[in-house]
Chains A and B, each alone.
Chain A
Amino acid sequence: MIAAEGLDGSGKSAGLDALGRWLERKGRQTHLVAWEPSRLVTRAAAAPRGRQMLTPRVAALLSAAEVADRIARDVRPQLAQGDVVLADRYAWTGVARDVARGLDPAWASAVYRFAPRPDLVIFHRQEPAIAMARALASRPDSVAAASVAGAYGEFLDGLMAAFEWLLDGSSAGPWPVGVLVIDPRSGPDARTIAVRDAVRPLLGRLADRARA
């Protein structure tokens, strides 16, 4: 299992697509699993009374429940049959979001321990300003949008700080995990080489497991 993590517009999805195609050419069955916004949280936020109940902790638990459901259907069976699962954002995204909303980092990490530990996390570093420009590009320009951007900017800074904490600590996050950090200024070829170099030894291990 390989998970790509990072802010919007960092090239995660394109990188994962390319990795998937490369793995398929090498004869691996791959499954791409995309992180989706929680339907329960979205629905709750749409109603005034729901919004009142939707504290950071309740939102964290509702979205984690949906992730657990998706993992039971789209991740565990695929890993069990020896396929490669590529996750476009995964547990770190959930933990970073919950920490950015003010929850205790140790608790937010523990919640996601139910998620199978990836063999590799590919972390795409990204400037919050670029991530924000990317996120706002699809929205209409207005006075309201400017104030949303202000609040969102703060949230992105919090997310980035939480990701840095996850990258930093051996005790941070749901599980200890191998990480490849991709620099935003690196060219596409350098990225491809770095990713393949990091993934190749994992495939050897997978082959060993299959033989055993």
Chain B
Amino acid sequence: MPVATPGAHGLPGVLFVLEGIDRSGRSTHARRLEEHLRRAGRGVARTSLTTSLLASEAIRRAKQEGPADATELALLYAADLAERIEQLVLPALRAGLVVIADRYCWTPMARAEVRAVDPDWLDALFAFVPAPDAVLLLEVDAETSLTRRDRDPDPYESGLDLHLSSDVRDNYRLFQARIAACFDRYAVVAGFTRVVATDSSDDVGARVAAAAEAVLTARIGR
């Protein structure tokens, strides 16, 4: 898997990735970070999971058609990421922009790994992705994720196919805890920056901005 290393992609821009379990505030803080950087006068591009032209629809369909094959979904997520890397991330990095990715390869890897897909294969599959300058892992526990949960979450994303518990809420909590355990491992291997994300959105936003600024200063010197 890629390892977060400032400047490793060799392009003038900077790539930030936000990862975390569901309801950890990834999308909120990806937007907030974008606003913060724009206010500071930086050019920003943002991309998020399943927004590709070619794979997004197939991912939705595979999930709708009942228990989707986890290997098939991992490959579709990889296609989704490959398209966005080729069409958006790399051109933006070449142009010297700051790119914010709301989830990258790790969310799809974790969703497959908790469904018994071989982690070594997932590693090799996602070996094509450029290494981010930093990965900010928004850390909330499964209990917090549960209290923030949508009333009607996506069955695949809440792991209902795994039948971890007969109680839907309990199943959700157990599933998020398993995803969190995967992120814990990735955090060590891939050099994530951990950000406590249980308190107020303003506090978390400030921490995310500070972590990003530190990398920007190291990379671009301003």
Please give the residue numbers on chain A whose beta carbons come within 8 Å of chain B beta carbons, in ascending order.
40, 44, 49-50, 53-55, 57-58, 61-62, 64-66, 68-69, 72, 107, 110-111, 113-114
Contacts and interface: CB of A to CB of B under 8 A. Distances in A.
A43 to B, nearest CB: 9
A69 B72 contact: yes
B82 A55 contact: yes
A62 to B, nearest CB: 5
Contacts of A49: 53
Chief secondary structure at chain A's binding surface: helix
A64 B75 contact: yes
Chain B residues touching A, range: 20 to 34
Given A55-B82, A57-B86, A61-B79, 4 more contacts: A49-B53, A64-B75, A72-B69, A114-B75
B87 interface: yes
A66 B82 CA distance: 16
A115 B54 CA distance: 23
B121 A113 contact: yes
A63 to B, nearest CB: 9
B71 A62 contact: no
B72 A53 contact: no
Interface centre among A54, A66, A69 (most CB of B within 10 A): A69
Given A64-B75, A110-B124, A40 B58 contact: yes
Interface string B97-130: 0000000000000000000011001001101100
B75 A68 contact: yes
B184 interface: no
Interface string B61-83: 01000000101110110110011
